[in-house]
Amino acid sequence: QKEVEQDPGPLSVPEGAIVSLNCTYSNSAFQYFMWYRQYSRKGPELLMYTYSSGNKEDGRFTAQVDKSSKYISLFIRDSQPSDSATYLCAITDSWGKFQFGAGTQVVVTP
């Protein structure tokens, strides 16, 4: 079993809808949680980073962590076609080995 599980999608939503993404993890030692966005044939880029349970907002993006359930989420409000990409969760217990989920492909249709 992988340490980080993420539904690969694809997830198709109409423009303006809320996109909901999530990951589960198995190791309770994980304490730093990140979401990366990856466009086709590009390297991933960091969207959100948090280390505590609860919500963190940044513009249209909200990251949510529930350490008791080992569950993390990313919400994208007012989705735009430019949000079409693959979204990767990444988790680490230290600043060395980051474990990535499989990535969820999101398609926002105009």
Partner 1 sequence: GAGVSQTPSNKVTEKGKYVELRCDPISGHTALYWYRQSLGQGPEFLIYFQGTGAADDSGLPNDRFFAVRPEGSVSTLKIQRTERGDSAVYLCASSPLIGDRGRGTGELFFGEGSRLTVL
Q: Enumerate binding residues for partner 1 (CB under 8 A).
A: 4, 6, 8, 32, 34, 36, 41-46, 49, 51, 88, 90, 95-103
Q: Which is nearer to partner 1, 79 or 103 (CB)?
A: 103
Report in angstroms how near the CB of residue 32 gets to partner 1 at its nearest: 6
Report in angstroms how near the CB of residue 15 gets to partner 1 at its nearest: 25
Report in angstroms how near the CB of residue 110 gets to partner 1 at its nearest: 25
Q: Which is nearer to partner 1, 17 or 70 (CB)?
A: 70
Tokens 């079409």 locate to 84
Q: Which is nearer to partner 1, 19 or 100 (CB)?
A: 100
Q: Residue 66, Cβ neighbours under 10 Å: how many?
A: 13
CA distance 49 to 47: 7
24: three-class secondary structure by DSSP: strand
CA distance 56 to 76: 12
Phi, psi of 47, deg, nearest 5: -100, -50
